[in-house]
Amino acid sequence: MATTLSGIFPALVTPFQKGKLSLSGLKSNIKKLNRFDFTGYVVLGSTGEGILMDEREGLQAIETVRAAAAPGKIVIAGTGSESSAGTIEFSNKAAQAGADYSLVVTPFYYKAQMTAAALEAYYREVAEKSKIPIILYTVPKFTGLELPLQTIAAMATHPNVIGLKDSSGNVSAISETLRACPPEFCVFQGHGSILFSALLLGAKGGILALSNMAPAETVEIYKLFQAGDYEKAREMQFRLLPFNQKIVGGYGVPGIKCAVDMLGYSGGDPRPPLRPVNQEARDAIRQILKNGGLL
pLDDT number for residue 3: 61
Note the helical H segments in the chain: 23-33, 55-68, 84-97, 116-129, 140-143, 149-155, 171-180, 195-201, 215-226, 230-242, 249-262, 279-291
pLDDT number for residue 93: 98
pLDDT number for residue 4: 76
205-208/7-10 β-pairing:
parallel
Which residues are CB-contacts of 67 (< 8 A; sequence separation ≥ 6)?
A: 27, 98
Give the chain's residues under pLDDT 70. 1-3
CATH (residue range 7-240): 3.20.20.70
Per-residue b/e over 221-246, b at no fewer than 16 CB within 10 Å?
Answer: bbbbbeeeeeeebbebbebbeebbeb
Active-site residue 165, yes or no?
yes
**DSSP per-residue string spanning 56-121:** HHHHHHHHHHHHHSPTT-EEEEE---SSHHHHHHHHHHHHHHT-SEEEEEPP-TTGGG--HHHHHH
| Set 165, 204, 257, 290: catalytic member | 165
